[in-house]
Amino acid sequence: MLWEDVSVLDPSTQRPAVGIRDVAALARVSPTTVSNVLSGNRRVSAATRERVHWAIDQLGYRPNLSARNLRVRRAGLIAVAVPEIGVPYFAELIGHVVQAARERDYTVLIDQTEGRLEAERFVLSGMNPGMVDGILFSPLGIERVEYENRRDSTPLVLLGERISGGGVDHVAIDNVAAAADATRYLIERGGRRIAAIGHQEREGGGTAPQRTRGYRQALDAAGMSYDPGLVVPTSKYHRRDGALAMAALLDRGTRPDAVFCYSDLVALGAIHTLRERGLRVPEDVAVIGIDDIDEGRYSTPTLTTITPDKVAIARTALELLFDRIADGSREPRQIVVPHSLTVRRSA
């Protein structure tokens, strides 16, 4: 089929919009060839494709997106941008994304932003022009307003809780419920002084405040009082942060009988400190994490944790992204993916 080419006025300039015939004329090919390039037809030579894309860029041509499933500039690549690939949760999630993308014949490139604004803005700008067909983005530092004002049109789906609300395709677990489930489990197995490690104050919400909210909800529901002295903030979620936070709690004479950690790495760091101090896990202090990373299946003791369905997160995010690639104007969707409790030996 030939792409639709209705003569309309560009709403911003009130001049006739650029059409497929203009592109064809500049690229010195037939309109059918332009259409073939736009639909990703592989029979068009690389040189011709390049020329057509050049003409499209020159003219600022935007194909009619009512024709679904047709893509401009199929690069065969999508990007996943995360704060740190050294965090196993992200590495495992990306592994699932790579597998699911391969089924669709897409290659995945990964970008590590370290939460730096400059790097996150590079992601929001679509990275280099035309380089990738879409982006999965787990933001950390950037404010929602920047997302909403972005000028690039590269399809984008957000992962996690940092920026939520309307206007954005978005996939995450219910972090309030996940934290409440973890805390309730600690209460059910006898915890009475339950610490929480990993709180973070951030403008505009985010994952950590939601987990603190879930922790408090579970305490409330059990009629237990909230003790701010048992809540330890950490700036990051590495093993070291968990180890230092646990040491800080013990050093100020606070001895919890259970600890809810905001990530598995934090939990593994906390367990390290507890054992260094001669405390038994779970007999003296029970420890639970969130993430269900592979490490927790082999640690001593093995780690009880909240298991987000990482396969579902990866597949759902990719589906949203491919939908968005096919139809840039559809309504944004926010999808909540299930989680479950995985009981091993640390709690």
- Should residue 112 be labelled a site residue for its own copies when binding is judged by CB under 8 A? yes
Pick between residue 6 and residue 47 the one whose CB is nearest to its own copies. 47
The residue type of 116 is R
Pick between residue 2 and residue 312 the one whose CB is nearest to its own copies. 312
Which is nearest to 100 in space by CA: 309, 339, 316, 255?
A: 316
- Should residue 310 be labelled a site residue for its own copies when binding is judged by CB under 8 A? no
Q: What is the number of alpha carbons within 13 Å of residue 83 lying toward its C-beta?
A: 17
State the Cα–Cα distance between residues 113 and 84, nearest whole angstrom: 7
Member of 42, 46, 235, 283 binding its own copies (CB under 8 A)? 46
Query: CA end-to-end span of the chain, whole Å?
Result: 61
- Should residue 269 be labelled a site residue for its own copies when binding is judged by CB under 8 A? yes
- The position carrying tokens 């230092």 is 244
The burial class, CB within 10 Å (0-12 / 13-18 / 19+), for 192 is exposed
Member of 4, 10, 114, 188 binding its own copies (CB under 8 A)? 114
State the Cα–Cα distance between residues 59 and 166, nearest whole angstrom: 32
- Should residue 285 be labelled a site residue for its own copies when binding is judged by CB under 8 A? no
Pick between residue 136 and residue 219 the one whose CB is nearest to its own copies. 136
Member of 25, 131, 177, 244 binding its own copies (CB under 8 A)? 131
Pick between residue 73 and residue 193 the one whose CB is nearest to its own copies. 73
Contact 290, 305 (CB under 8 A): yes
CB of 268 to its own copies, least distance (A): 6
Pick between residue 38 and residue 219 the one whose CB is nearest to its own copies. 38
Which is nearest to 136 in space by CA: 72, 76, 78?
A: 78
CB of 78 to its own copies, least distance (A): 11
227 — alpha (psi -120 to 50), left (phi > 0) or beta? beta
- Should residue 271 be labelled a site residue for its own copies when binding is judged by CB under 8 A? yes
State the Cα–Cα distance between residues 39 and 20, nearest whole angstrom: 13
- Should residue 280 be labelled a site residue for its own copies when binding is judged by CB under 8 A? no
The SS3 of residue 26 is helix
Member of 76, 165, 190, 229 binding its own copies (CB under 8 A)? 76
105 — alpha (psi -120 to 50), left (phi > 0) or beta? left
The residue type of 122 is F
- The position carrying tokens 């405390």 is 279
Member of 29, 94, 178, 182 binding its own copies (CB under 8 A)? 94
Encoded one letter per residue, x for contact with its own copies by CB under 8 A and - for no contact, window 219-248 reads -------------------xxx--x-----
CB of 272 to its own copies, least distance (A): 4
Token pair for 222: 């059990």
- The position carrying tokens 């339950």 is 194
Which is nearest to 59 in space by CA: 20, 23, 29, 32?
A: 23
Region near its own copies per CB under 8 A, out of 36-44, 112-120, 180-188, 210-218: 112-120
Member of 5, 84, 120, 323 binding its own copies (CB under 8 A)? 84
State the Cα–Cα distance between residues 221 and 148, nearest whole angstrom: 37
| Count of residues in contact with its own copies, rule CB under 8 A | 48
- Should residue 1 be labelled a site residue for its own copies when binding is judged by CB under 8 A? no
- Should residue 86 be labelled a site residue for its own copies when binding is judged by CB under 8 A? yes
- Should residue 62 be labelled a site residue for its own copies when binding is judged by CB under 8 A? no
- Should residue 125 be labelled a site residue for its own copies when binding is judged by CB under 8 A? no
Residues that bind its own copies (CB under 8 A): 46-47, 50-51, 54, 57-58, 75-77, 79, 84-86, 88, 91-92, 94-95, 98, 107-112, 114, 119, 122, 127-129, 131, 238-240, 243, 268-269, 271-272, 275, 294-295, 297-300
